[in-house]
Chain A
Amino acid sequence: MISFTYLEPASLDEALALLAQHGDQSKLIAGGTGLVNLIKQRLVRPSIVIGLRALKGLAAIEENGKLRIGALATLQSLAMSEPIRCSAPLLAEACRHVATVRIRSMATLGGAMAQADPNLDTPPALFALDTQIVARSERGERIIPVERFFTGYYETLLEPDEILIEILIPAQPAGSGTAFLKFLPATQDDYATVAVAARVALDGNGGIADARVALGAAAMVPVRATAVETALAGQRADEKIFRDAAALVADAIDPIADFRGSADYKRKMAVVYVRRALVEAAAKAKRPA
């Protein structure tokens, strides 16, 4: 392994001070499943690694109207968390699909977001749930809507002196249904060939009040399929409408060809999986009384 100096701040203030001082030459480490692999592959060479694990308060999951998820909550703890399973089952489901229990026991939600690997499962789930990201530096705190957070391949809006401290999930529309589908033609612990997260809310007449659709492994960044969402708004929730709207995702994504499939194949499977996710989410949605 490439050698680096490891620092372990005892408080968030201390961590922010270290980051302000070392910013560009340092990397934050939470669970390590992302960063250690990147260091091993020599894709990043930090001279300083700042460990966040002593900041125990940043692992809390709280519900008070909205869900506040500390950045250090592990994916396994989210998959098993009662508040998450009740109020944001889409996120619990996405976490359950990440890699293996070993990785889920180490990897954190904040780490997964900050790493910004477009193949990960949690970003599309957080897009569909209309999430906000809280980032803090010595300069202050800012709240970033998740769909503005990812700026490129492994790149985010985070500045070198900022720490992602919290993920905020608002109360979801009453009766809305969600679905997370991950197409895994090879092994169950693989990255998705394509992953889809959908949320559908119905109106009193069985029409679609609101739909949100997002994809992972579909481009250099997680993608929100606004063309699909717009096509669904106000329409009746039936198979034909979902089929026609899902077809629009083909032009909204830009998948890369790799051993999981050609770009064209992934585009076609994205259409299939968006349709299935919409049908499943609508089936779980309840019409308001």
Chain B
Amino acid sequence: MRTIKLTLNGTPIGREVEDSRLLVEFLREDLKLTGTKESCGVGVCGACTVLLDGKPISSCLALAVHADGCAVTTIEGIAEGDRLHPLQEAFLAHGGFQCGICTPGQILAAKALLDANPHPTRAEIQHWMMGNLCRCTGYYKIIESIAAGAE
């Protein structure tokens, strides 16, 4: 066990974790932040995407201890009070989700893209989002939502 300190969705926290705890387990089981989903568990599907110091990562492959000293952003942390994040609004307005399981990962990956590149081309959106799978295959609407969110 060791104590880690991180800024979680803007709030500094400290917690004890097992050395071998995965970040996704820490978020979902220890902190009960179940917006982050685990699906493939091998870094392929993108459902567990969170932002570590602003960069999109697979939380199923990250050790919780590697969040020590970092800022972690999950889907629970991007709205401001009752005001949804513009990307969340755009996904709602453009039907950017169907069953919803991939949506937290899609929105965080898209947020990382727009933070780095506020006006991406469609090709840039597609290349960046290529690793966030939607098994309902609603890709057109997802890309439309991100393009609208960038406006």
* Residue B79 is within 8 A (CB to CB) of chain A in the complex: no
The CA-CA distance from A188 to B2 in the complex, in Å, is 39
CB atoms of B42 and A40 under 8 A apart: yes
Determine if B61 and A49 form an interchain contact, defined as CB atoms under 8 angstroms apart. no
A102 pairs with B58, CB closer than 8 A: yes
Q: Can you list, as one digit per residue, whether each of B56-77 has a CB less than 8 Å from chain A (1) or not (0)?
A: 1110011101100000000000
Residues of A contacting B44 in the complex (Cβ-Cβ under 8 angstroms): 189
Check: A10 CB closer than 8 A to any chain B CB. Answer: no
Q: Which of B17-25, B80-88, B89-97 contacts A (4 or more CB under 8 A)?
A: B17-25
* Chain B positions 21-55 with a Cβ under 8 Å from a chain A Cβ: 21-22, 25, 41-44, 46, 49, 52, 55
Whether, in the assembled complex, A81 has its beta carbon less than 8 Å from a beta carbon of chain B, the answer is no
Q: Let me know if B128 and A101 touch, CB within 8 A.
A: yes
Judged by a CB distance under 8 angstroms, whether A160 is at the interface is: no
With A32-B66, A100-B46: A4-B19 Cβ-Cβ less than 8 Å:
yes
Closest Cβ of chain A to B44, distance in Å, is 7
Given contact pairs A2-B20, A3-B18, A105-B55, A51 touches B65 in the complex (Cβ within 8 A): yes
- Bound Cα distance from A4 to B18, whole angstroms: 9
Over the window 2-17 of chain A, the binary record of Cβ atoms lying under 8 Å from chain B Cβ atoms (1 yes, 0 no) is 1111101000000000
B2's partner among A6, A100, A102 (CB-CB below 8 A) is A6
Q: Contact partner of A36 among B18, B22, B55, B109, CB < 8 A?
A: B22
Q: How large is the interface on A (under 10, 10 to 19, 20 to 34, 35 or more residues)?
A: 20 to 34
How many chain B residues sit at the interface, stated as a range, is 20 to 34
Which of B42, B63, B128, B132 counts the most A-chain CB atoms under 10 A from its CB? B63
B20 touches which one: A6, A8, A189 (CB < 8 A)?
A: A6
A103 at the interface (CB under 8 A from B): yes
Q: Which of A2, A53, A76 contacts B66 (CB 8 A)?
A: A53
Contact A102 B43 (CB under 8 A): yes
In contact, B43 and A33 (Cβ under 8 angstroms): yes
Q: In the bound complex, how far is the Cα of B25 from the Cα of A282, in angstroms?
A: 50
Which of B49, B128, B131 lies in contact with A99, CB distance below 8 A? B131
* A102 and B19 within 8 A (CB): no
Chain B residues lying within 8 Å of A76, measured Cβ to Cβ, are: 55
A263 contacts partner chain B, Cβ-Cβ < 8 Å: no
> How far is B32's CA from A245's CA once the two chains are assembled, in angstroms?
59
Instruction: Give min CB distance, A161 to chain B, whole Å.
Output: 22
Closest to B55 in A: A105
B51, closest chain A residue (CB):
A105
For the complex formed, measure the closest distance between the CB of A132 and the CB atoms of chain B, giving whole angstroms: 29
Residue of B nearest to A80 (CB): B116
Assembled-state Cα–Cα distance A100/B55 (Å): 12
A289 contacts across to B, CB distance below 8 A: none
Of A6, A76, A99, most B-chain CB atoms within 10 Å:
A6
Scan B7-22; emit 1 where CB is below 8 A from any A CB, else 0.
0000000000011111
A76–B132 Cα gap in the complex (Å)?
A: 17
Nearest CB in chain A to that of B18: its residue = A3
Which residues of chain A (77-121) have a CB below 8 Å from chain B?
99-103, 105-106
Residues of B near A1 (CB, < 8 A) are 20-22, 25
Interface pair B22/A103, CB less than 8 Å apart: no
Q: Which 6 residue pairs of A and B lie closest in terms of their CB atoms, listed nearest first?
A: A100-B131, A6-B19, A105-B55, A3-B20, A36-B61, A102-B58
